[in-house]
Amino acid sequence: MSIKLGDTAPDFQAESSLGTINFYDYLGDSWAILFSHPADFTPVCTTELGFTSKLQSEFEKKNTKVIALSVDGVEDHKKWIEDINDTQNTQVQFPIIADKDRKISELYDFIHPNASATATVRSLLIIDPEKKVRLIITYPASTGRNFNEISRVLDSLQLVDAYKIATPVNWTDGDDVIIPPSVSTNDAEKLYPKGVKEIRPYLRYTPQPNK
């Protein structure tokens, strides 16, 4: 199965480091970051999970839950978490899914045979409260993910959903945003009381609405 943007993220039940999890029940009405790891006790993954653990409180403020996946078993996950906590100076509190039979990895297209027939690639999905896939990023196994970028995209997606805007290149929270071409200039002046800066008829900026 190939997951694409806009698809409904498949539900599943699995064992995890925090016990049995039903994915939809675990998410509730939250956003989600679901990310896969090639294996336990690997150096790049250890740094990623440690950094994600440190960001968990920030993600919670954004109504977002994180959940990791690896093709190893629960007992390995629990031992690995001890290593992560020790080496990364943190306390991992989010679940790591055990996917020894690779059913979830195959469901979410985390196995790329030309990269590895057995290990998951470094894929990450952002899933919205309607269970729609909003972001897919896939890295090679040797390259750690940039979670500052993932947090930035999450900010953008949530802002886009709340207001009729788009975000420009390298946008970060607090920067000016773009008015979509579908909004006329007359409507823009009503929708964006902070002002409209027109560079071209199709390229118009306004201050971030919620700042």
CA dihedral 180, 186, 192, 198 (to 10 degrees): 60
Decide if 38 contacts 117 (C-beta within 8 A).
Answer: no
- Of the candidates 30, 35, 10, 31, the one whose C-alpha atom is nearest the C-alpha of residue 95 is 35
DSSP-assigned letter for residue 121:
P
R_g (Cα) of the chain, nearest Å? 19
How far is residue 207 from each of residues 152, 166, 171, 175, measured CA to CA in Å?
17, 12, 12, 7
Q: Which residues contact 42 (CB under 8 A, 6 or more apart)?
A: none
Q: Which is the catalytic residue, given 21, 33, 45, 97?
A: 45
The rounded distance, in Å, linking the Cα atoms of 69 and 38 is 9
45 is catalytic: yes
Decide if 88 contacts 47 (C-beta within 8 A).
Answer: yes
How far is residue 117 from each of residues 99, 111, 112, measured CA to CA in Å?
15, 7, 7
Catalytic amino acids?
45
